[in-house]
Amino acid sequence: MYEVLTMLALFAAVVIVIYILARYTYLTKKIMAENGAYAPGATFERFRYLEIGCIIFGLGVGLGLSSVFTLMDLGEDTMDLLIYGTILIFGGLGLAAAHFIRDRSS
């Protein structure tokens, strides 16, 4: 019974987060369109897959570098922490790189 409630709560949380994000995006675009600050496809079309590409590249570099930790003689918890930390750090660096590339080109 506990597992069913946990999965139901997790599913509800995901649905609520997606709803909030979609509503926020809709309202933001609506306000920008009313103020004339939003031109569809003007700057977003040019860098459509830049964020995704940079994040995937960062995750790939993080996975590659985290494989070094599997060769070391570390405890299992320490190794897991280092592997996941490295992957997340390089994923974040990829996202930051995409942001700076887009800002510099605009």
Domain ranges of the chain: 1-38, 41-106
Output the pTM of the full model: 0.54
- Please state, in angstroms and rounded to a whole number, the distance separating the CA atoms of residues 51 and 7: 31
pLDDT computed for residue 14 by the predictor: 92
pLDDT computed for residue 17 by the predictor: 92
Tell me: pLDDT of 95 over 70: yes
Evaluate whether 69 touches 83 at the Cβ level (below 8 Å): yes
- Please state, in angstroms and rounded to a whole number, the distance separating the CA atoms of residues 67 and 82: 10
Sign (positive or negative) of CA dihedral 20, 26, 29, 33: negative
pLDDT band at 102 (very low <50, low <70, confident <90, very high): confident
Mean pLDDT, rounded, for 27-35: 84
Q: Which residues contact 50 (CB under 8 A, 6 or more apart)?
A: 98, 101, 102
pLDDT band at 9 (very low <50, low <70, confident <90, very high): very high
